[in-house]
Each structure stands twice: as structure tokens, then as C-alpha cells.
Structure 1
Amino acid sequence: MKSKVMLIMLISLTLFCVVLTVPTFASFSSIKQIFDTPSFENAPEKTEIEAAIKEKNPLGFMVRNKDELNRAELAEVNDPTNLTLGRPVKVFIPNESVFQALMKNDPLTKLLKQCPYAWEFPVINKKSGEFVGSFRIEKIQGKWEFSELGGYLSSQTLSLISDSSRLADFMGKAGVYAIEDYAFFTVMPLHTTFLLVVKEGEEYLVPFIHGDWKEAYGLRSGEIYSRDKVVSTVGPVLQQFRENPNSLAGYPNKTDNKNIFKLPLIVLLIIIFGAVIGFYVFRRRMGQV
């Protein structure tokens, strides 16, 4: 009798686990399928881009110019045949409408899909499996050309954004189990590439800050934020940049940081000087009593 009860309990527990697991797996598969599109394999420009890669040999360029590119991951790579390409990522290039939307907190998805775009190709070290950089190809004057070689994004970011399974897992860990749409786009004045996802009609953004910076203007690289939060943070920065293109945008400015710390120092010196004078006057008065 006890064995039957135990068997029933075991079967019930198994069914319960299956019920919990199936929706999660289904959500993961659904998000992964969305991140799998658009695919470079189905892109109309695929043949032209592949011809440009074959002609210009970007991997050879990256190895020959690794010192100038300043990618630490390339330091030990001396032969371009030791490099291979990862899954290309479609990255939109924002136009004026997108910048206005970012400053006004208007929807971005539809506007982004109307923008020109580039394909970002991650570059991988065959031996170590490490992502060592990337290059971009975009349409310039009607022809697909290299627009950037070396890459702005970190190895960890390149590894994430070029893998639909990792992206789906990343979303799940952030509590996002279903999305309707997504887009990558780069805002160069902010030195940031954003992942935009649409969940239940609402837009959320994940900033991936270029280089080794972990945070800029209150946004941490690789964390998901509501569009409201991102706009309230970067909107004023973009406005400042548009009013003065030579002004700081994106990375914190070390010179400005020094100026920030100079003020408390000056105030402290004034306080000390005032205290000394006050103490001297106090002693004089005490001596007169």
C-alpha cells in the first residue's frame, strides 16, 4: 500500500515538473525564433556582402593592424586563417526621427525598421573560441562597403548578441519570457548599441556600452530598462549633443570629473582658512577679557 502511495506521489511530482517546464521551454523557443530573424542567410544583399568580404579580406586587415585597433583579444593572433566569422547581426542606424523619438519618449520600433542598417560580423578565434572583435558593412552610396573594422563592442557582448539561444536565456533571466519584436541600433554620440525588445506592446531597451565601460549616465551595460527610464537618462544628453556636437556625450569625461572634485577642495580650503581666522579672532577677544 505504501509503495503505491509513493508511486502515485512520484508520478504526480513528475507531472507537476513537466507542467512547469513545458511553458518555460515553449517561451524560450518562441523568443529564440524571433531572435533568429532576420537572418543574413536570407538577406537580399548576402551575395554582394560576401563578395566584398572576399575581396577586401577584413580578417587579414585586423591581424595586420591589431596594434592600431587596440583589441587585446587580437594580441596573440598572427595568422588570419586562425580567425572565423560568427553569426552576423543586423544593426539599424538611427535617423533624425529616431533621435527625436528618443528625446520625446515616442515609440521607436516602427521608426527603426524604416532606417538604414548595417550587418555586424563578429570575429572569433578558432583555437580559443574567444570573440576578438567585429566589422561592419553598410550601404554607402548604393554599394555595400566596410564602415568599421575592429569593433566597438566587448567580446562578451559580441558573444551574446550573435547567439539567439543566449539572447533568449538572457531575456528569461531578466524576467522576459515573451516578446513580439526586437531591433539592435547604435547611437554613436552615446557610444552605445541598444537592444530594443517589445513586450506586450511596451518597449524595453538594453544598453551595451562600447569598450570596457560598465556604466554611463546612470545606465548599466547589459541591464534591461523601460523606455521611459532610458529616455529620461539619455534624452538630455542627446539634446546637449545636438545643440553642441563638440560637447561630451557617452563616456564620462575625466576632465569634467576633475573639475567636480576641485569644488569641494576649494570649499574645504575656504572653511579651513575661515576656521583659522575665526580661532585667531576668538583668542584675541579672549585675551582682552
Structure 2
Amino acid sequence: MPRHPWTQATLDRYIKEGRGQGEGKSYQPWLTVRDVSSRGRSSREAGWKTGRDHHLLSDHERRLFYLFEWSDKVKDIKEQFPLINLESVVKIAEEIGWKYPKDLKSGVPYILTTDFMLTVQQDGKPVSIARTVKTTAELEKKSVAERLEVERRYFLAEGIDWKVVTEKEIPKLLADNVEWIHSAYWLEETNEMSIEDLKSLAKVLKHRLQNNASTINKITAALDKEQNLEMGTSLSLFKHLVARKEVVMDILNTKISSCPSAKEIQRIIY
């Protein structure tokens, strides 16, 4: 829930601002990292698919976000998505005997949110699915179970597939790997190299990586030295190529931040 006072005027302002509305880059989450207290676990991540900052309110949200970024099936990611039909949500809460949360001072009902509303490609068509992430420990709490039941019934009525994802269903190594490469998705020119220079260097790096028995760390360091570049330039470029899936590795089972042998590269796309 928002950490600031919740009034009818605040609710009206959120709606007027377009929160919970839009697609892709134009989407605005109902809650942002500025609105909630998350004990330092909130973060903003620049989205590959949307080209906007995503507001993530927990470590598990962030890890799940990385998996959605990596998946080719996921076409759009909307975080902190509101269950905006308040009449429907309150009615469901009454049906199951759950006390719907309201601001103690104003009496105005809060708007519940689900962690992610995704657009995925299924049988060649875009389909909306909702996903909420909770720890297994949280699922044992009655209040959490009741809230999730409200979510489940709400999205069932909306005809949207909804599921809970726990930490046990998030492959940690895959999430860690995507986190390691995530910021390198876009090429950024440096004091030494333009974007075109970096693209040319990427071609050289691909050839060096192919059929090479050395480690990725040694290959990229040698290329930096040969080209008289700042150390780490070629390694950042390697991250970019993995993020863009031009260098294909088994990131579900291989920790790429440890700079394994280039032999573990499965495919290089030119």
C-alpha cells in the first residue's frame, strides 16, 4: 500500500495520471518505488522489451522480471498492475469473508495490485496473463492466502490466466546470469569508441570467441590490450552479445560471470 495518506483525491489523481494504463513504453505502474516502503529492496530496472524503467518492489520481483526479460514469449511487462474494478474486488472480498483494506483515516479503499501483467505470444496471438510472486513462507499466512484468493477470483472473472510464483520456481542461476548482462543490452559509446566502432569490435570479438579454448576473460582482456582499450571494454561487449542472443550460451546451467571457457559457447550468430 502507498506510504503516503490515501484519500479519494489521491485515488482520483492516480487515475488522472494514467497509472495502471498504457502499453509498452507508455505504461505507468500503479505503484512506484517512491510510493512504498520496501526496506531497501525496491529497484528500477531499464526494460529491454519496453524501453522504460520498471518499478520492482522486492528481490523476488526483480529476479522474476529478469526471467520475463529473457523469455522470447513475453512481449510486454506491466508491473504493479491494479485490480482497478474496485466494486468487483470488494464484492469478492465480502464473499470470502476477507476484510478489504482501507485507509484508517479517510476510509477510502486501497487499490490492490498484482505484481506482473504480461503479454505473451501463444499460438501466434498475444495473450494477457497475470503473475504474482510470493515466498513459500508468505503463503502460510492466512491474510496472504485470502488476498491471493481475491486476486485469483478477480482474474478468473476477467478471463485472465493468473498464478502465484514462489522463489522455488525461479531458477536462481538463470536470474543471476540475466542480471549480470542486463545493463549491457544497449551499446553506449565511450570516450574511445563510437557505436559503429563498437559494432566493428563485436565482429572481431565473435571471431576470437569461435573455436577458442581459452577463457572468455582472457580473450576479452587480450583484445582490450591489443586494441589499446580501457580494460573491461571487450567484456562489456561480450555481455551485450549474450544479452542480444548473438552469442548463445546455456545460461540456465552455466555461471557466465565466472568467465568460463569459450568452448561453452553453443552458437555465435553473425
Do both share a fold (TM > 0.5)? no
Max radius of gyration: which structure?
1
Select the structure that is richer in strand: 1
TM-score (norm 1): 0.24
